Amino acid sequence: MQMTRKHGVFLVGVAVWSFFTWGMFTKNLYAAHAAGEDRPAGYWIAHSVLIVVNVLLGGVFAAWGAKVLRASR
């Protein structure tokens, strides 16, 4: 499949959206933990893993999208 400029823009958009939403989620999770919200350790670990994995995926999408955009010039 040939990746076009539209695909590159879409991938970069998904990456930006991912960074924004997971950044907000991280901020809210940290605020809840700092406020002493009583949750099992598994809750904090699972959500921290979700954040890390999704931010890494956002980085992959951003790099892939940037590569497609550079190649489509």
Q: Which of 49, 46, 52 is nearest to 18 (CA)?
A: 52
User: Is pLDDT above 90 for 73?
Assistant: no
According to the model, what pLDDT value does residue 1 have? 79
Can you tell me the mean pLDDT for 65-71? 96
Q: Which of 69, 70, 54 is nearest to 11 (CA)?
A: 69
Q: What is the pLDDT of residues 8-61, one digit of tens each?
A: 999 999 999 999 999 999 999 999 999 999 999 999 999 999 999 999 999 999
Q: Read off the pTM.
A: 0.87
